[in-house]
Amino acid sequence: MDQVFTYESFVHATAGSIGGQAAMTAFYPFETIRTQIQANDHLKSKTTLEVVKILVEEDGFGSLYKGIRPVLISLLASNFIYFYTNNMFKVIYKKQTGKGIGVLPNLLISFAAGVVNVLTTCPLWVLTTRYKAQRKNNSTESEGMIRGMIKIANEEGISALWNGTLASIILVTNPMINFTVFDQTKKYYLRWMKQKNLTPTQSFILGLFAKFVATILTYPLQVAQTKLRTSKKTMTEEETKKTGIKKYENTLDCLIKMFQEEGIYGWYRGVGNKLVQTLLMSAFHLTIYDKIVTEVEKVMGGKVKSHH
């Protein structure tokens, strides 16, 4: 147990959580627009600026921040679990093997941490995705997250809280690729430049590169994930026409239908907006994460190991 509840894991988890919260708050309107474009077929032909205009005209500028409170709560839980579990697994691996962590073990550890995160926080994200996909204000968000999840379970069955789990587990490769590319690039860059730590600018640039790679490789699954989380198996044809949200059976069914209806564009709908959002968010997130860990090291007078 001493390998699980460590000071190092706690520092990395806290730094990751704070970085994630700050990044999401700074760029949240991009998140709202992305969800609307991905989930709502009525908006599929609209540009980012057109979607912003529609949302603001319907519900004011506050609509761009719809669902931010539950999203920040979900993100706090997700980032803490991911960063804590990721660093915990690294501690255990290094103590058990006595070796440094190479690329493959790093990938596997990141994947395992991501799966733990998905399975524990999926209900939160199903709920928050539905909040963000709403076109107009209604009472569901004000009901509270616990009541919201209970309502979904009662109306659609408890399994609905894990809608899109397969897509989410496969999408673990996104933060896995992102964090691993950043981690490995940082290690080799510091060695090449003979530096101890990255500057904020260097962290930002490496963060941009890492997230660009991850986003391009996994974007079709992100679209499917959003559609599955907002889709209700109990939806009628009338509800589908009214909301622009369709009904899907599973991840494969969603991907096939998107391709049949729109071709490759269906898989990459809104990718430009997503790239801007995720590149800025990830770079901002990892910059803050790296800076917090560095500052803790200075205050505590010792290095907080990252277990590369």
* 1 domain residue, yes or no: no
2 domain-assigned = no
Q: How confident is the model at residue 239, as a pLDDT?
A: 65
pLDDT at 293: 74
pLDDT higher than threshold 90 for residue 8: no
pLDDT computed for residue 164 by the predictor: 84
Helices (H), the chain: 7-26, 28-39, 48-59, 68-97, 103-133, 145-156, 165-170, 173-193, 200-230, 237-243, 251-262, 264-267, 271-300
pLDDT at 155 over 80: yes
Tens-digit pLDDT profile for residues 199-226 = 888 887 888 888 788 888 888 988 888 8
Percentage, residues of the chain above pLDDT 90: 4
* Residue 295, in any domain of the structure: yes
Is 191 a domain residue?
Answer: yes
Look at residue 224 and give its three-state secondary structure.
Answer: helix
Model pLDDT, residue 121: 92
Task: Answer whether residue 23 shows pLDDT above 50.
Answer: yes
- Name 227's Cβ contacts closer than 8 Å, sequence gap at least 6: 38, 39, 245, 246, 248, 254, 258
pLDDT in tens, 241-277: 666 677 787 888 889 988 888 888 888 887 887 788 7
Rounded to whole angstroms, the Cα distance separating 37 from 39 reads 6
Q: Do 156 and 148 contact (CB within 8 A), yes or no? A: no
User: Has residue 61 been placed in a domain?
Assistant: yes
Structure tokens belonging to residue 307? 């277990």
Across 34-43, average pLDDT: 76
What average pLDDT score do residues 121-143 get? 73
Token pair 């899109």 in the structure block, residue: 164
Residue 193: pLDDT over 60: yes
pLDDT of residue 308: 47
CATH number of the domain that residue 287 is part of: 1.50.40.10
- pLDDT exceeds cutoff 70 at 84: yes
Q: What is the mean pLDDT of the chain?
A: 79
How many domains does the structure of the chain reveal?
Answer: 1
**Is residue 306 scored above 60 in pLDDT?**
no
Give the CB-side neighbour count of residue 304, counting CA atoms within 13 A: 25
Give a yes or no: residue 123 inside a domain. Answer: yes
State the residue range of the domain holding 225: 7-300
Is 77 or 63 the better-scoring residue by pLDDT? 77
